[in-house]
Amino acid sequence: MRRSLSPAARRLGAALTAALVAVVGLPSAVSATAPATTPASASAAAPSALPAATAPGEEWRGYWVDAFNRGIYTAAQVDTLVADAQAVRANALVVQIARRFDCFCNDALFPRTAAAISPLPYDPLATLIQKAHAAGLEVHAWINATTMWNLATAPADPTHVYNTHGPSASGANRWLNKRVDGVEIVNNGSYLDPGNPGAVAYLVDAVASITQNYDVDGVDLDYIRYPDYSSGAANDWGYSSTSLARFRAETGRSDTPAPADAQFSQWRRDQVTALVRRIYLRMYQVDPSDRLSVNGITYGYGPQTTGGWTTTSAYRGVMQDWRAWTEEGIVDTVATMNYKRNYLADQAQMFAEWVEATEDYQGGRQNVVGPALYLNELADNVAQASAVAASGVAGWNGYSYANVSATATASSSASVKDSERDRLEAALRASVFTGPAAVPEMTWKTRPTSGHVAGVLTDSGGRPLDQVAVAVRPESGGGTARAARTDGSGWFGVVDLPPGRYTVEVTEAGVTACATGAVVVAGEVTDVALRAGAACPTAQVFTDVPPGAAFYDDIMWLWSEGITRGSVQPDGTLVFGAADSIRREAMAAFLYRMAGEPAFTPPATSPFTDVAPGAAFYKEITWLAATGIAPGAGRPGGEATFRPAEHVTREVMALWLFRDVGSPSYSPPATSPFIDVPTTHRSYREIAWMSTAGISTGAPAGGGQFRYAPDDPVTREAMAAFLHRASAV
């Protein structure tokens, strides 16, 4: 029995109805009912309130442009495509560049397509990018990830993977996915096995070749899942000899699992997720500004009716856990293929449910709804677009540019198709996309606060180790270790780690491997090579700061964040100098590093008479002055000095930290927390704030009272504690 719609989905249904009523009044003959010959459905979605990741004035508006129809076969078609995108006020084109492991381009690992495109030197992708970018449109390369081939005759190009790794290949070199009944080809269609390490490596390299060689704005992965055409409710693909051998090695089982076997289903799901993760990080290494989008399955009813995410068609039917991908952060956008007929009540409910799920499952990223233009007539298409625009997803991506209505789909006439497109674009421009909009900014990429780790685990002979557990943990001793697992190439990856130093270590019995000192930087991917046999060292970082020493955790936090580097001794060891006093020039460097070493050009003329340009820590000291943290001390003549070699007093430490955190609005207590800092003290507010903020408790003075000692110099170990605590304020 179907569950009733949630309030959000009911609101969406009301929006659809209202939009449909409004659209029926548009000029030109518009039928609210599609003809009985409307082609078979698939799936699509729409959501409900702007997510935090999408700012006002930002809205994704795009077409999927398939490569089985007109669009990019000639330069003239590209001109028309760009003009049509401008006519609807689109800002992105998702164009099918790789249909079946061929490429509508000249410079990629995929061979050039044999489709009837203009002859060389014409490059469809390069031409599209040049013309679309000139018109202010983004270009996203749509790649069918696992559809190997779909014709009865083999590809003409001998390098095509169907010829090199298809029916004529054997063993691990045979990349074909296989059904439980032994079938590999259905209706001439063959599929890549996501559980085959060689196939995965090839696909990752092919995607990277496009992002490396072309100025695309992103990659859109279609068919990033296991195939359809299962014989029952459970997916019965994934039975190649290579996949079964890897599954048995991972689980210790010797049987052939049933399609509905929970362990085998999760293993297959993990193969697709690992492939997405690897593509995401490889793209990030090539060009971190590129968007990775995936086309999400939404067959049938949404999770509201099926009983939750794990009972949906995506998760259970085709092993595509796209909700987990947004939550982990290994995709930037899910474009849900919400292909539903709006004029049928049950499919209208499906559409509403999947729009709501598309919004709910954004995970801090930006999901997009992709309605089926080809299944609906104009009024219903505009109504669905209106509902999407009123929801909380990042935008709309119509399928497809070639057939924008059921009428266009049913006709073989180019003029009919063009006329239908003109009518849709005019209607959307008039009632939905009434003004320009920017593609939503991916702030996690344009203004990153985290970094990533990618690596390869090999044995002592350099051979990859498959399906081995790895942990990535902060060297400071704080924070949480993140788990990873190697794929068939020994590759592993972890995303969205706070900047700092990390240890990467195998945590699986029977394998020992460790790498220390991996520095994670915001907006970058840190490469780590793990070789079996190397255990994590037990030696401490600083010879004068053993584990258990006073302020050990604070000092190690300083080290893991890259704020302190220690002093290298003649024997190569590091010393922190915990009991030494901190000099003002060194404190400037610590605060600058704690701020993330922001871009700053030091002035040609020093603001301090005792710090000349080119002096040690000149940049850090002048940054301190420019930010107002340390404006300097005035001399009788009005000149300012910094006194770089003097020690930082505890009073000055309070002043600098208070300003460093933005001089918060703070009213100090009427009674001082410290017996040696009266309320009349010149820095009472800042010192009292140190106590209130939990940065300094002071030293016990007896009788339940505490002393701050404002004139005493700050030791380096105390400085570590102050900065560590201030980082949490």
Instruction: Please tell me the predicted confidence (pLDDT) of residue 554.
Output: 87
Superfamily designation of domain 453-538: Carboxypeptidase-like, regulatory domain (2.60.40.1120)
Q: What percent of the chain has pLDDT over 90?
A: 79
- Model confidence at 635, in pLDDT bands (50, 70, 90)? low
Cβ atoms of residues 620 and 642 within 8 Å = no
Mean of pLDDT values over 553-580: 83
Lowest mean pLDDT among 479-493, 555-569, 658-672, 698-712: 555-569
Instruction: Render pLDDT for 274-321 as a digit per residue (tens, 0 to 9).
Output: 999 999 999 999 999 999 999 999 999 999 999 999 999 999 999 999
Instruction: Please tell me the predicted confidence (pLDDT) of residue 167.
Output: 97
Instruction: Please tell me the predicted confidence (pLDDT) of residue 2.
Output: 35
Where is pLDDT greater, at 538 or 226?
226
For the cut 60, the answer to whether the pLDDT of residue 122 exceeds it is yes
Instruction: Please tell me the predicted confidence (pLDDT) of residue 200.
Output: 98
Most confident of the ranges 274-283, 516-525, 697-706: 274-283
Mean of pLDDT values over 49-60: 68
Q: Across the strands, what pairs with 641?
A: 633
Pairwise CA distance, residues 589 & 606, whole Å: 17
Q: Is the dihedral of CA 412, 414, 415, 419 positive or negative?
A: positive
Q: HSE-up of 659 (CA within 13 Å, CB side)?
A: 16
Mean of pLDDT values over 69-81: 98
Instruction: Please tell me the predicted confidence (pLDDT) of residue 538.
Output: 60
Mean of pLDDT values over 340-361: 97
Other beta carbons within 10 angstroms of residue 107's beta carbon come to 14
Nearest to 423 by CA among 379, 372, 384, 386: 379
Can 7-431 and 453-538 be said to share one CATH topology? Answer: no
All residues at 6 or more sequence positions from 308 whose CB lies less than 8 Å from its CB, including other chains: none
* Mean pLDDT score of the chain: 90
Instruction: Please tell me the predicted confidence (pLDDT) of residue 567.
Output: 84
- Please identify which residue in the block is written with the tokens 């590093």: 593
For the cut 50, the answer to whether the pLDDT of residue 165 exceeds it is yes
All residues at 6 or more sequence positions from 544 whose CB lies less than 8 Å from its CB, including other chains: 575, 576, 577, 578
Q: Does domain 7-431 have CATH number 3.30.565.10?
A: no
Integer angstrom CA distances of residue 141 from 40, 94, 134, 290, 437: 26, 6, 17, 11, 21
Lowest mean pLDDT among 245-254, 430-439, 542-551: 542-551
For the cut 80, the answer to whether the pLDDT of residue 8 exceeds it is no
Where is pLDDT greater, at 83 or 551?
83
- Model confidence at 233, in pLDDT bands (50, 70, 90)? confident
- Model confidence at 636, in pLDDT bands (50, 70, 90)? low
For the cut 60, the answer to whether the pLDDT of residue 29 exceeds it is no
Indicate the Cα dihedral angle 143, 149, 153, 158, nearest 10°: 70
- Model confidence at 49, in pLDDT bands (50, 70, 90)? very low
Q: Across the strands, what pairs with 231?
A: none
Q: Tell me if the bond preceding 710 is cis, omega within 30° of 0.
A: no
Mean of pLDDT values over 208-226: 98
Mean of pLDDT values over 648-677: 94
Instruction: Please tell me the predicted confidence (pLDDT) of residue 3.
Output: 40
Lowest mean pLDDT among 113-117, 154-158, 627-631: 627-631
Structure tokens at 4: 């009733």
Instruction: Render pLDDT for 404-447 as a digit per residue (tens, 0 to 9).
Output: 999 999 999 999 999 999 999 999 999 999 999 999 999 999 99
Cβ atoms of residues 247 and 170 within 8 Å = no
What are the strands, taking DSSP E only, across 316-374? 333-338, 368-371
For the cut 80, the answer to whether the pLDDT of residue 31 exceeds it is no
Cβ atoms of residues 336 and 368 within 8 Å = yes
Pairing of the two strands 395-399 and 368-371? parallel
Structure tokens at 98: 């790789």
Nearest to 272 by CA among 289, 295, 298: 295
- Structural domain spans, the chain: 7-431, 453-538, 556-726
For the cut 90, the answer to whether the pLDDT of residue 383 exceeds it is yes
